[in-house]
Amino acid sequence: MYEVQIMGTGSFVPEQIIKNDCLSNFVDTNDEWISSRTGIKERRISSGENTSDLAIGAAKEAIEDANITADEIDLIVVATTTPDFFMPSTACLVQKGIEAYNATCFDISAACTGFIYALNVGFQFVRSGQSKTALIIGADTNSKIIDWSDRNTCVLFGDGAGAVVLRRSDEKGIIHIDTGSDGRGDELLFCPGVNVKNPFVEELDEKKQFMHMNGKEVFRFSTTVVPQTIEKLLKKSSYSIDDIKYFLLHQANARIMEAVAKKMNIDTKKFYKNIHNYGNTSAGTIPIALNEMDKGGLLKKKDLLVLAGFGGGLTWGSALVQWNK
């Protein structure tokens, strides 16, 4: 087995900034409610860019940061629940956009946990020797599946993408990844697909392709499952909470991060937050924040980081990473 390092990070978000107050044009809400209940102040919303455009932007920055050429990439995995098309995959669109024609490309659907799942796939491919250089992307254009008349959801989400380049290495990098799913929670957070409609099936009512969420239950689920996955992750890798420099959680709600910190008795200062600027970009939140931490000089060689995600499915997962970039 090989060691697997994160060699480069990148992110890309739409230019258009939508502040909380602007949302009161669509729904009965205000900045005070959104900020105090979620920590969100503004989010980026597409002016026409689709998920592949965001993913390509993030990929280009990660490739440059890793100091590699696109033809060295032999695997592209995109985590998204808002692909441009049912087919081709967003990963194939990224391949064309960055001209990485030596890569095998596919998408992964695990909602807001998508980046952790995709990272795990890349980790296993590189670790086993099947891949040498993998591009792993989390990208979502949530604005196209949000019901802009539903104040319970439309205030929470934004659009954006982040990427990492993984490479075979002699030094430690990704140490361990823990993932889990519970399909019994399918109705807590979902977005319908296309109805079965053909000459042999009676037409059903057209389902609206909008996201639906039971906010209270999702809050309860996330604050339960995140401590569990982190504890499992650390147990398997023989490190303790005190060894970890930063916890980078999926940015869904600042109150979720605070509740997890309190439950685990960890100083909230160790939890990196950028939710105020972007809201919840689903599979994009973790790699966007990782790129920000990297560019901001927060990460030093040998630092230990825990990344943790949760979301629709239900799904969850966490990764322990030693920063050796």
Which residues are part of the catalytic machinery?
A: 112, 250, 280
Nearer to ligand COA, 37 or 232 (CB): 37
Cβ(116)–Cβ(309) below 8 Å? yes
Task: Give the Cβ contact number of residue 293 at 10 Å.
Answer: 19
145, 218, 266, 305: residue in contact with ligand COA (rule CB under 6 A)? 218
Residue closer to ligand COA (CB basis): 98 or 112: 112
Contact 193, 283 (CB under 8 A): no
Q: Does 152 bind ligand COA (CB under 6 A)?
A: yes
| 133 vs 223, beta carbon nearer ligand COA | 223
CB of 150 to ligand COA, least distance (A): 9
Give me the least distance between CB of 36 and ligand COA, in Å please: 9
Interface mask toward ligand COA for 98-117; x: CB under 6 A: --------------x-----
CB atoms within 10 A of CB 62: 29
Residues in 253-292 at the binding interface with ligand COA, rule: CB under 6 A: 253, 280
CB of 67 to ligand COA, least distance (A): 33
Instruction: Check if the beta carbon of residue 145 is closer than 8 Å to that of residue 109.
Output: no
- Residue from the set 79, 110, 126, 155 that interacts with ligand COA by CB under 6 A: 155
Q: From the list 213, 249, 275, 308, which residue makes contact with ligand COA (rule: CB under 6 A)?
A: 213
Q: By CB under 6 A, is residue 216 in contact with ligand COA?
A: yes
Write down the least CB distance from residue 215 to ligand COA, Å.
3
Alpha-carbon separation of residue 194 from 110, 170, 323 (angstroms): 18, 46, 42
Q: How many residues bind ligand COA (CB under 6 A)?
A: 18
How many C-beta atoms surround the C-beta of residue 210 within 10 A? Answer: 17
Q: Which is nearer to ligand COA, 216 or 301 (CB)?
A: 216
Closest by CA to 301, choosing from 237, 236, 239, 245, is 245
Q: Output DSSP code: residue 209.
A: -
CA separation for the pair 94, 222 (Å, rounded)? 31
Site map (CB under 6 A) of ligand COA, residues 47-86, x = contact? ----------------------------------------
Q: Are 20 and 77 in contact (CB under 8 A)?
A: no
The reply on whether position 11 binds ligand COA by CB under 6 A is no
Question: How buried is residue 262: exposed, middle or buried, by Cβ count under 10 Å (0-12/13-18/19+)?
Answer: exposed
Shortest separation between residue 151's beta carbon and ligand COA, angstroms = 4
**Shortest distance, position 48 Cβ to ligand COA, whole Å:** 25
The interface with ligand COA within residues 22-41 (CB under 6 A) comprises 29, 33-34, 37-38
Q: What are the contacts of 179-184 at 24+ separation with CB within 8 A?
A: 179/113, 179/116, 179/117, 179/120, 179/229, 179/315, 179/316, 179/317, 180/225, 180/229, 180/315, 180/316, 180/317, 181/110, 181/313, 181/314, 181/315, 181/316, 182/313, 182/314, 182/315, 183/313, 183/314, 184/314
Pick between residue 27 and residue 298 the one whose CB is nearest to ligand COA.
27
Does 190 help bind ligand COA (rule: CB under 6 A)? no
Q: Which residues of 301-321 are buried (b: 16+ CB within 10 A; e: fewer)?
A: eebbbbbbbbbbbbbbbbbbb
Please choose, out of 126-134, 167-175, 214-222, 266-274, the segment that lies near ligand COA by the rule CB under 6 A: 214-222
Contact set with ligand COA (CB under 6 A) = 29, 33-34, 37-38, 112, 151-152, 155, 213, 215-216, 218-219, 252-253, 280, 311
